[in-house]
Structures are given as structure tokens and as C-alpha cells.
């Protein structure tokens, strides 16, 4: 089973000046509960659109926030 996990989002949030998940959620246009699930790797069905909005808010690339965990 191939697994994609989120990584380093909390560090990128701090670097981008976000002090909370709520701030990131507002900037990215994503519900705060969804951001919480993503940060805790309970995101099931993470879409490219969601990844794009997070990357835009954090001014980063998808590879900065996603990690492939091989079998």
C-alpha cells in the first residue's frame, strides 16, 4: 500500500507567519476542521485543489508538504 502523508506544514505555517490553524484555513479557504485533519494525517481523499490552496497560502510547492511513504 502506498501512503501519502503530510509533512512540515506546521513549520511552514510558522515561517509564513500563521499563528493558528484557523488563520491558515481562512487564507486557504478551507474549513478549519479539514485543516486539522490534514495536519494530523487523517485527511483521506486529499484533493489536488486542496493541496494547491494550502501551497498558495504557505507560498510553497506540493513536495514541501507531501511525502510518499513506500511499503
Task: Tell me the pTM.
Answer: 0.88
Percentage of residues in the chain having pLDDT higher than 70 = 97
Does the domain at residues 3-69 carry the CATH identifier 1.10.260.40?
A: yes
Question: What is residue 42's predicted lDDT score, i.e. its pLDDT?
Answer: 87
Q: Is the pLDDT of residue 1 over 60?
A: no
Q: Tens digits of per-residue pLDDT, 18-46?
A: 999 999 999 999 999 999 999 998 877 78
Report the mean per-residue pLDDT for the chain: 91
Measured between alpha carbons, how far apart are the two ends of the chain, in Å?
A: 6
Domain boundaries, the chain: 3-69
Question: What is residue 56's predicted lDDT score, i.e. its pLDDT?
Answer: 97
Long-range contacts from 57-64, C-beta under 8 angstroms, 24+ separation: 57/16, 57/18, 57/24, 57/27, 57/28, 58/9, 58/12, 58/13, 58/16, 58/18, 58/24, 59/16, 60/12, 64/8, 64/12
Amino acid at each position: 500500500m502506498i501512503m501519502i502523508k503530510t509533512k512540515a506544514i506546521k513549520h511552514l505555517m510558522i515561517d509564513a507567519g500563521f499563528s493558528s490553524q484557523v488563520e491558515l484555513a481562512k487564507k486557504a479557504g478551507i474549513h478549519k476542521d479539514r485543516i486539522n485533519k490534514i495536519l494530523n494525517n487523517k485527511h483521506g481523499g486529499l484533493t489536488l485543489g486542496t493541496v494547491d490552496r494550502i501551497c498558495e497560502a504557505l507560498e510553497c510547492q506540493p513536495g514541501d508538504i507531501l511525502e510518499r511513504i513506500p511499503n
